[in-house]
Amino acid sequence: MDKRVEERQNTRVDLRTDKGHSGTVVTFVGHATACIEMDGQALVTDPLLRDRVWHLRRDEPCAEEGCLPVDELTAVIVSHLHPDHADVSSLRSIPSDVPLIVPKGTGGYLRTRLPHHVESVAIGESYQLGPVKLLAVPAAHTGPGSTLAPLSASAGFMIQGSHTVYFAGDTALFDGMEDLGNGFAIDLALLPVWGYGPNLRGEHMTPRDAAQSLTMLRPKMAVPIHWGTFRPVGKVWSRFAFFSDPPYTFAGYAAHLAPDTSVYILQPGDSVEF
């Protein structure tokens, strides 16, 4: 392992049991799910909160009190309607008074299935959550299942308060990432680096693509998401490195392509505070 990657990995911290933090805390819950605590608000992205989904099982089951590190959420962000990002069963487990913030074009599908208030925002539009603004930004993603909504109904989100966190959702590299890097001082980027298997279908970023995106986005910190967490039932699957290697591959490329960005490889449940 690259020495710089090893040093970065070893600087990660776990704040799940620390209730006294005053900065921004980002917890990697698993797959594309992250909990962002900022300025008194607690947001969760693309919640996938079950221990078993289809033929996939979570590597480490959620704690008895659930997967999330907070007792109460302020809002949910859904980036698009692929079932591993808009899991209706997981969304139903979230209290109905918690609003869902979604890209324009996806709201109708969710409103017919959930009791929550669903706020649809177009690219460039925002939703204000106390002192925190959720701004929908472009994403380049179609892939399997896109017939659930228009192909354009996919977004990333800039979460802006005392810090700026970029949640990319699912996306391929696209030229507009340069504009995001120029337009926002990103403190931390949550970047997808993989899928469920060795073949990425549709528009996704590979670990190298995600590292390349750092040169365009120029965040101070990055956390790889959309990797591992779930794998098919059966011991044989534990032998396949593509479930666990992608974040380390990403960090290796990032150390050379974007040395000014600190990469934190978080296991599900791990957090970083800044």
Q: Is residue 156 part of a domain?
A: yes
Q: Is residue 18 part of a domain?
A: no
More confident of the two residues 67 and 90: 90
Unique residue bearing structure tokens 């089951």: 61
More confident of the two residues 47 and 144: 47
- Residues belonging to the chain: 274
pLDDT for the residue numbered 54? 63
The pTM (predicted TM-score) of the whole model is 0.86
Check: CB of residue 229 under 8 Å from CB of residue 30: yes
132: phi then psi, degrees, rounded to nearest 5: -110, 135
pLDDT at 15 over 50: no
More confident of the two residues 259 and 56: 259
More confident of the two residues 17 and 114: 114
Q: Is residue 166 part of a domain?
A: yes
Which residues, listed in sequence order, are joined to residue 222 by a DSSP beta bridge? 189, 263
Q: In what order do the strands lie in the sheet with 56-58?
A: 52-53, 56-58, 230-232
The parent domain of residue 102 ranges over 3-12+24-268
pLDDT band at 85 (very low <50, low <70, confident <90, very high): confident
If DSSP codes are grouped into helix, strand and coil, which group holds residue 188? strand
Q: Is residue 240 part of a domain?
A: yes
Q: Which amino acid is at 196?
A: Y
219: phi then psi, degrees, rounded to nearest 5: -75, 155
Please write the tens of the pLDDT for every residue from 234-265: 555 555 555 678 899 999 999 999 999 999 99
Q: Is residue 273 part of a domain?
A: no
SS (HEC) of 95-145: CCCCCEEEECCCHHHHHCCCCCCEEEECCCCEEEECCEEEEEEECCCCCCC
pLDDT at 160 over 70: yes
CATH number assigned to the domain comprising residue 105: 3.60.15.10
pLDDT at 148 over 50: no
What's the domain count of the chain?
Answer: 1
pLDDT for the residue numbered 18? 45
Q: Is residue 150 part of a domain?
A: yes
Q: Who's near 16: CB < 8 A, 6+ residues apart?
A: 27, 69, 269, 271
Most confidently predicted of 6-10, 66-70, 235-239, 251-255: 251-255
pLDDT at 5 over 80: no
d(CA 218, CA 182): 8
- Output the CA torsion sign for 189, 203, 208, 35: positive
Q: Regarding beta strands 262-263 and 221-225, do their DSSP bridges make them parallel or antiparallel, or are they unpaired? A: parallel
pLDDT for the residue numbered 238? 56
Q: Who's near 90: CB < 8 A, 6+ residues apart?
A: 47, 48, 49, 50
Q: Is residue 238 part of a domain?
A: yes
Q: Is residue 17 part of a domain?
A: no
**Once rounded to an integer, what is the mean pLDDT over residues 170-180?**
92
pLDDT for the residue numbered 227? 81
pLDDT band at 48 (very low <50, low <70, confident <90, very high): confident
pLDDT band at 24 (very low <50, low <70, confident <90, very high): very high
Nearest to 200 by CA among 157, 233, 170: 170
